[in-house]
Amino acid sequence: MATYVFLGKEGKEGKEGKEGKEGKEGKEGKEGAAAELYGVSGYALGNARDGTIGFWNGSADRTPIQTGRTSWKAFKSLADGPQQAVLNSAVQSAFSVDLARTDIANSTGRVDFQGGALVTLHKPEDDFLAAHQLKFLRSAADLRYDRYAEIAAQTGNILAFYGMVGYLSRNATEWSLALCSAVSALSQAVQYTLKFGFDVARPIAMSRKVQPIIQTPGHGAWPSGHATEAFALATLLARLVHNRELDVAQDLSEETELYRHAARIAINRTVAGVHFPTDSMCGAILGITIAEALVNLLDGKPSTVSRVYRGDTYAGDFNLPLLKEAMDDTAVVTKGTVPLDPEKVPAWLGTLWSEARNEW
């Protein structure tokens, strides 16, 4: 048995929505002021010090502002990179992935949350994919010319597509964007570990006629990382943008714009030729469930929904109505509950969550 516990780090998209406070070199507002602070040579500064301090006997003459300050104030004082690293670490610390085998690929894997079994996945075997899933790529390929611009953009950026639904601005929704970055990093940590543990073949390995229009990644197909991240972000933003308690079943039934974008992002990976529909079904269920657990914890709920996905028997296509149908079909997805302990949420993270909700 191998248990993978995550240490927070910035994902591939990093803080794309925040436009990188430190990375931005333009002299706009505080970024410009910061750039000027670091643009002077140490020699000039040292020379200026020698000419201004007068006599100093080495004694202290001020009280540090750090003395007695709250963790929220300390968090806000961090530079962008360290701040996001701390947030990512706090978010990911409650999650772990359990895989029974370390010598060969696993048939079953599990994501735990606060020690409880949150998501259990049963993978499809290669012969099952060849018999039941490959045909969907043949028909999806007809959409390639229509979808190529989206497919190309989404290889490196999916958050921008949600910015068409909710007002995402670095200055207006700073903490919401920080949470989006944390959820993206969480999604990547979870799904890459599962991809490695399951090692499911890509469509290109099944037929030379698939011929994807983007390069096929070297890691396993199942679950789809784009679907995981897209649906995790949609679930987080459903809580924030709609400014009400999260209700995944209602949002899926209503086919809200956030989930429509998530589904389209996932489907585009099949259109491109790099994923089977079951990869997206798995990723959607995984992304929804991990983000739902995080939101419920931050909202102080006593429990969250757990799910088991039978990817080893699901032979169908993927779209939003089919996702809702699968999540209501006990032959495909079974549900349970996992108890939550909101007392374990750090005080500063609770404040950040409150600030993020108040941005909408």
pLDDT at 4 over 80: no
In 3D space, the residue among 276, 274, 222, 205 whose CA is nearest the CA of residue 108 turns out to be 222
Q: What does the pLDDT read at residue 8?
A: 55
Tokens matching residue 24: 């931005």
Tell me what the mean pLDDT of segment 315-320 comes to: 97
Mean model confidence pLDDT for the chain: 91
How would residue 34 be classed by pLDDT, with cut points 50, 70 and 90?
A: low
Residue 324 pairs in a beta bridge with none
Is residue 117 within 8 A of residue 108, CB to CB? The reply is no
Is residue 201 within 8 A of residue 129, CB to CB? The reply is yes
164: buried, middle or exposed (CB in 10 Å: 19+, 13-18, 0-12)?
exposed
Say which residue, 19 or 234, is predicted with more confidence.
234
How would residue 13 be classed by pLDDT, with cut points 50, 70 and 90?
A: very low
Is residue 24 within 8 A of residue 116, CB to CB? The reply is no
Tell me what the mean pLDDT of segment 129-152 comes to: 96
Is residue 92 within 8 A of residue 6, CB to CB? The reply is yes
Pairing of strands 303-310, 116-122: parallel
Residue 2 pairs in a beta bridge with 99
Q: Using CA atoms, how far apart are residues 109 and 225, in angstroms rounded to an integer?
A: 16
Is residue 275 within 8 A of residue 221, CB to CB? The reply is yes
Weakest-pLDDT range from 36-45, 93-102, 265-274, 313-322: 36-45
Q: Using CA atoms, how far apart are residues 95 and 89, in angstroms rounded to an integer?
A: 10
Q: Using CA atoms, how far apart are residues 320 and 175, in angstroms rounded to an integer?
A: 29
Q: What does the pLDDT read at residue 19?
A: 42
Percent of the chain with pLDDT over 70: 91
- Per-residue pLDDT tens over the stretch 263-290: 999 999 999 999 999 999 999 999 999 9
Contacts of 27 (CB under 8 A, 6+ apart): 35, 36
Q: Using CA atoms, how far apart are residues 290 and 245, in angstroms rounded to an integer?
A: 16
Q: Looking at residue 110, what DSSP letter applies?
A: E
In 3D space, the residue among 160, 142, 289, 178 whose CA is nearest the CA of residue 223 turns out to be 289
Length, in residues, of the chain: 360
Q: What does the pLDDT read at residue 100?
A: 95
- Three-state DSSP at 246 gives coil
Helix or strand run (H / E) with residue 2: strand 2-5
* Span between the terminal Cα atoms of the chain, in Å: 43
Q: Using CA atoms, how far apart are residues 212 and 199, in angstroms rounded to an integer?
A: 19
Q: What does the pLDDT read at residue 15?
A: 43
Q: What does the pLDDT read at residue 11?
A: 45
